[in-house]
Amino acid sequence: MKKLILSFALIFGTSVLVNAQIEKGPKIEFSKEVHDYGNIKYGGEPNCTFEFKNTGNEPLIITNAKGSCGCTVPDWPKEPIAPGATGVIKVKYDTNRPGPINKSVTISTNVTTGKDDQGNPSYYDAVIRIKGEVGPAPESGTPVNNTGAPTNN
């Protein structure tokens, strides 16, 4: 009986220790992972934002953010985000490209996901997406403003 109780205590203690190790470090949690522009006019408002929070217990560092193509340009905080603090990633899409939008932004962080085969830490890459549809370009001869959108004249 003592061995049975000792075995359960050992298993419980090990699982608590493993969970404590997993919970250590920064974590990134987004309020949304997809921004839907819906149907947007050619040359329409190109900017959107993704709010996030560091739900971990160490500073979060975003080391890079890269759009899936040159038409999707992210801007991210370069300073560490303290535990419990929030931040914003801004994404600008080139709305002078008619047709469907289905792009992603890969965000490289210092959030660890474990170890690789050589024992080095492996890091988490978050992915956020934008989608929608850009309307057709104005017909030639239609006056446009400096963003390429038709004017109301």
Q: What is the pLDDT of residues 36-58, one digit of tens each?
A: 999 999 999 999 999 999 999 99
Which residue do the tokens 């001869």 mark? 141
Residue 77 lies in a domain: yes
Kindly state whether residue 118 falls inside one of the protein's structural domains. yes
Cα(133)–Cα(147) distance, rounded to whole angstroms?
Answer: 17
Whose CA is closest to 76, among 147, 4, 125?
Answer: 125
- Position 142 scores a pLDDT of 57
The number of domains in the chain is 1
User: Quick one: pLDDT at residue 3?
Assistant: 61
Q: Is residue 89 part of a domain?
A: yes
pLDDT for position 50: 98
Burial 97-109 (b: 16+ CB within 10 A, else e): eeeebebbbebbb
Contacts of 84 (CB under 8 A, 6+ apart): 53, 54, 55
pLDDT in tens, 88-119: 999 999 999 999 999 999 999 999 988 888 88
